[in-house]
Amino acid sequence: MKTVTVELGARRYPILIEAGLLTRAAGHIAPLARGRTVAIVTDENVRAHLATVQASLAGAGVASEALVLAPGEATKSWATLQQVCDWLLRLGVERGDHVVALGGGVIGDLVGFACAILKRGCGFIQVPTTLLAQVDSSVGGKTAINTAAGKNLIGAFHQPALVLIDPDVLDTLAPREVRAGYAEVVKYGLIDDAGFFDWCEANGAALLAGDAAARVEAISHAVSAKARIVAADEHETNGTRALLNLGHTFGHALEAEAGFDGSLIHGEGVAAGIALAFRYSVARGLCPPADAERVAAHVRAAGLPDGLAAAGIAASGARLVEHMRHDKKMAAGTLPFLLARGIGQTYLDRSVDLADVERFLDREPR
């Protein structure tokens, strides 16, 4: 088993990574259950994994109850948040209890937010079942729901008590979901670790094809990088954690334009957003064109969209920028952007003119 610790003082917590971990989940959940019934929230796509976790708990003499939600980004809504909170209250969940979020990023974000506000905060455990959730959203305590105005605009920082990552569950994922998660893997090499991007170029195809060793290496590297960044800037106040948003400002605008209808899922938006961020950096004279093309080529090789056309987005630059204006990172009318001076040289730029971004996007092929 690999263990990575998110160092947050008294709120430090472990991330456990091991093949087959779901079958042994009770050994890690039971100490937090306090002899009480464990509430599990999941979705329809994860029923098989739910059965595995509940069987493990039952074998350890721990009772559990499950709420199974509809899959998809639309589940991160006000209505479903109320449904989850009402269900947890009917179960009598207490502040000292730990709710299990079993699923991908949608379930993790939704359940984490519900736990942040239920009785002013109760505990929760992340059990991510997608590559994207395993390498990114399950770690760091960002929780939220979506609104008509945009993605993740209503939420809170609420750290889990434990993260259990079983790479074997990725065998049940659709290839599209694995590819989408891979976008968040590549991101870590582009932020500040050019050597890891080299690793992705050499090993990404094997990871996507199901190579177990490549999966464990990628997951371990990604969560270690994220744990380090979160420990340095938990609430995104000094700019360090903002680096994790590479590709997300563009990507979230594309997702909003697509209407969160499943035609463009989060990792695909991030992949296109990363390629756009590098091309925009070239347009501003910051990044060598060869680096931007290298990034786009790897994104394409992974079967991910590398721009507006590949993402199926035909909207004008003005419309996409309007989505950006609803970004939660807006401050005094300015939106910080993650730009790059090269591969592994991402930085936060607070001087970007949105009119310039609009012109750039209008030049992008559709």
Catalytic residues: 120, 142, 184, 226, 236, 241, 245, 248, 252, 266
The helix/strand/coil state of 231 is helix
Taking the C-alpha atoms of residue 269 and residue 279, their distance in angstroms, rounded to an integer, is 15
Maximum C-alpha span of the chain: 62
**What kind and span of H or E run contains 78?**
helix 78-91
The answer to whether 236 touches 242, Cβ cutoff 8 Å, is yes
DSSP 331: B
**What kind and span of H or E run contains 147?**
strand 142-147
The answer to whether 166 touches 20, Cβ cutoff 8 Å, is yes
**What kind and span of H or E run contains 113?**
helix 105-117
Taking the C-alpha atoms of residue 141 and residue 31, their distance in angstroms, rounded to an integer, is 21
Distances (CA, A) of 288 to 206, 294, 298, 299: 28, 10, 16, 17
Can you state the angle between helices 105-117 and 78-91, rounded to 10 degrees?
A: 60
Taking the C-alpha atoms of residue 282 and residue 286, their distance in angstroms, rounded to an integer, is 6
